[in-house]
Structure 1
Amino acid sequence: MGQLVCNGAMLKCSFGLAPGTLLVLPASQVMTAVPDANIMDNKPIVNIAPFGMCTSLANPLVAAATAAALGVLVPMPCIPMTAAPWAPGSPTVLLGNMPALNNASKLICTAGGVIEICMPGQTTVAVP
């Protein structure tokens, strides 16, 4: 059984050079000690903080800087590009009429990265 994810969870992107943070607004009005997340807490900058520098060649900034450096990979500032919700989410627990976010969920960045939850922000509430 997974852990319920909440505000302040630590995130990791496969192409990011630094950890990020999940910021959850209290829109669903469900809280443990802080607001709890659902699969729709996927908005860049609003919910998903940048991961320092990006190394994905699918990121237009990285591709342009790498081309200018004659093919030598040049990391550029991360700007998360997430369009789809977190997947899979909790199959049985709803927060704000959407599946709750658990620590097994992943989020895809259109620059090619996979965003994972390293630390869910709390360790006392479990969800399937």
Structure 2
Amino acid sequence: MASKNEEKYGVIAGTAVNEVEKGVKNTVNTVKQTVSMAEKVGGFLKRDIGNEIAWLKLSPEEKAAKKEKEKQEAEEAKAAEEQKKADEAKAAAAEEQRLKELQKSYIVHTAAITCSFALHESYVVVPQGHGEFIHGIPQLNVGDSKPEINVRSFGICKSPQNPSVQENAKKIADEIKNRPKSFMEKVMDLFSKPPAKDVGKDLLAQCVGVCTPKIATEWIDGKEDVLVDGKPALLGKCKLQCSYGGEIKLYTSGQRE
């Protein structure tokens, strides 16, 4: 539908008037934002001056007490920050030790797993046990690598090789390509090359899709001298490769703590 300016001045002239009006509105908005910022700065200055006046009105004893309080608060804040860093370092060391111990642990039903292209953890399971149990929980072997049967979906995948990710990226690219263009964009199109139709790597890297594990191998590096149902026992150090590029690792053993 034509705008009022287009009806009044014609399509070309009316469109130009519209663009000018938009520019004026943008300028007005910029001025308003600048004024608002100036008012905020003025408020800060007023508050700082007020604080300085209040300080001058204090007695020497009150000033000394205030300085001592500020010093104490600064020391407490510093101590709290140092304690936070110490706690974080301790937690990181504990996690590192846990993962180190996990490497030699036997894996059982419902152990948590991670994928380098997943946003969340998932689980490795067995619909039916192999006859070996640890504390009553079915023990796994390297053959428990079948997608969806053993390796449950991670939910969301960000691998550029995943068709679901590629499809979502293409949808976004199509939406951008087919969106209504402004007058200036139409003018610029006359002097520039049309955008590429393929989906770029940058867009793919920002998209996600549905995780549907695609695995064609067994877990690597199982316990060769301990067999579970005829196959090497699954250990915490074992890894699995998804065809879409994700590296799947064990995050917990699944055993009761």
Q: TM exceeds 0.5?
A: yes
Shift of 1:25: 3.1
- Name 1:37's counterpart in structure 2: 140
Which of 2, 5, 10 aligns to 2:112? It is 10
* Deviations, residues 26-56 of structure 1 (Å, cap 9, x unaligned): 3421111211000000111111111120000
Corresponding residue to 2:207 among 59, 74, 77: 74
> TM-score, structure 1 length as denominator?
0.90
* Contact 1:30/1:95 (<8 A) preserved: yes
**SS of residue paired to 2:224:** coil
Write the distance in 1 (CA, Å) between the matches of 2:110 and 2:230: 22
**Aligned residue for 2:221?**
88
In 1, Cα distance between equivalents of 2:239 and 2:225: 17
Distance apart, 1:122 and its partner CA: 1.4
Counterpart of 1:24 in structure 2 is 126
Deviation at 1:74, TM superposition (A): 1.9
1:40-51 mapped onto 2 (5 Å cutoff): 40-51=143-154
For the pair 1:119 / 2:252, whether they are aligned, the reply is: yes
- Identity percentage of aligned residues: 31
Partner residue of 1:109? 242
Counterpart in 1 of 2:160? 57
User: Structure 1 runs of 4+ off > 4 angstroms?
Assistant: none
**Number of equivalences:** 124
Distance in structure 1 (CA, Å) of the matches to 2:151 and 2:213: 7
Deviates more, 1:59-68 or 1:97-106: 59-68
Determine the C-alpha separation between the residues in 2 that align with 1:34 and 1:19.
20
- In our comparison, the structure showing a higher alpha carbon Rg is 2
Q: Letter of the aligned partner of 2:109 in structure 1?
A: N
| Gap regions ≥5 residues in structure 2 | 1-102, 174-199
Equivalent AA in structure 2 for residue 67 of structure 1: K
In structure 1, C-alpha distance between the alignment counterparts of 2:245 and 2:256, rounded to whole Å: 30
**Superposition TM-score, scaled by structure 2 size:** 0.46
Q: Can you list the C-alpha shifts for 1:47-86, whole angstroms capped at 9, x where unaligned?
A: 1111120000111111121133234332111111111000
Q: Is the 8 A contact 2:129 2:139 kept in 1?
A: no
Higher helix fraction (1 or 2)? 2
Give the RMSD, CA atoms, in angstroms.
1.6
Displacement of 1:92 after TM fit? 1.0
| Greater RCO (CA < 8 Å, at least 6 residues apart) | 1
Report deviation, 1:105: 0.1
Cα deviation, 1:75-120, whole Å, max 9, x if unaligned, reads 1111111110000111211000000000000010001100000001
CA distance in 2, matches of 1:111, 1:95: 29
Q: Distance in 2 between matches of 1:68 and 1:7?
A: 39
Taking the aligned partners of 1:78 and 1:111, their CA distance within structure 2 comes to 10
On the 8 A contact 1:17/1:53 being kept in 2, the answer is: yes
Aligned with 2:170: secondary structure? helix
